[in-house]
Chain A
Amino acid sequence: MFVRLSAAVAAVGLLASPVFAQGAKPTDPQIAHIAYTAGVIDVTAAKQAIKKSKNKEVVAFAKDMVRDHEAVNKQALALVKKLKVTPEDNDTSRSLAKQAKDKLAELGKLKGAAYDKAYVANEVAYHKTVDGALQSVLIPSASNAELKGLLQTGLKIFEGHLQHAEHVAAELK
């Protein structure tokens, strides 16, 4: 299962290092941390896009990302509080954060249409990775039913984001 995630992640070049140790299964506190981190990453990227882009569709998409990911993360925080789960930092979260930081710096150097294209292309790739990870690792590994439910809702939302990103990417061509 984790081999599959690593493969999917490596395929889009998001993570350079292997994500999970072979056979390891993330715990609920780790899953919560990974999901939350993934949301924060997309919000940060979107905020950069709102500042940098002059393309109406790109800015509208970025605003949608901020609104939705903040809403999901707010829900996630409320849930971990209710379940008395303390999100736990882990290698996957760290790799995600590191790669995202590099990507943000890389995108920060671009301007105009080149930036728009690169941002949206990365959103397509990123949502593919996150959706794949949710489907193949995070949802099946979650033991708490409410956490699993929130991840499933998240997956539906992020699948919508992927379609939206693909639509914007097609418009930019």
Chain B
Amino acid sequence: MVPGCKSFAFLAAVLGATGSIPAHAETIRVSIDKLMFSPVNISAKVGDTIEWVNADILAHTATVKGDWDVTIPPKKTASYVLKKAGDVDYYCRFHPNMKGHITIAPK
């Protein structure tokens, strides 16, 4: 077998593997700059990862009251994998006027 064929076979195998997952989980990025989540409203589905990129010199959180809580240190990135479908409002516990919204579709 020529080397080119081998790599093609490998590539096909990889594509085949990923292709067999019906809904591929995505990573959705939300930036934080000067105490603002951007974009404020996002749509996602169960299994997707939300990744918050904090450009501020301050620590923030992404918190859903009575549910999940993610701490995002200054100049760092933190993430959360969505577990339940529904509409959630989240906010920063340290700066309660920072708000975001996620519409989560079932898997």
Contacts and interface: CB of A to CB of B under 8 A. Distances in A.
Contacts of A160: 35, 95, 97-98
B95 A164 contact: yes
Interface of B: 34-35, 56-59, 74, 93-98
Interface of A: 60, 64, 67-68, 71-72, 74-75, 153, 156-157, 160, 163-164, 167
B96 A167 contact: yes
Contacts of B98: 160
Contacts of A153: 34, 56-57
B28 to A, nearest CB: 24
Given A67-B59, A156-B35, 10 more contacts: A64-B94, A68-B94, A72-B57, A153-B34, A153-B57, A157-B35, A160-B35, A160-B97, A164-B96, A164-B97
Contacts of A75: 57
Chain B interface SS verdict (over half): loop
B95 A64 contact: yes
Given A160-B98, A163-B97, A164-B97, A68 B34 contact: no
Nearest to A154: B57
A71 B34 contact: no
Nearest to A65: B94
A156 B57 CA distance: 12
B34 A156 contact: yes
A157 B94 CA distance: 11
B54 to A, nearest CB: 12
Contact of A71 (B35, B57, B93): B57
Nearest to B96: A164
A125 B59 CA distance: 25
Contacts of A71: 57-59, 74
Nearest to B93: A60
Contacts of B58: 67-68, 71-72, 157
A75 B74 CA distance: 12
A15 to B, nearest CB: 27
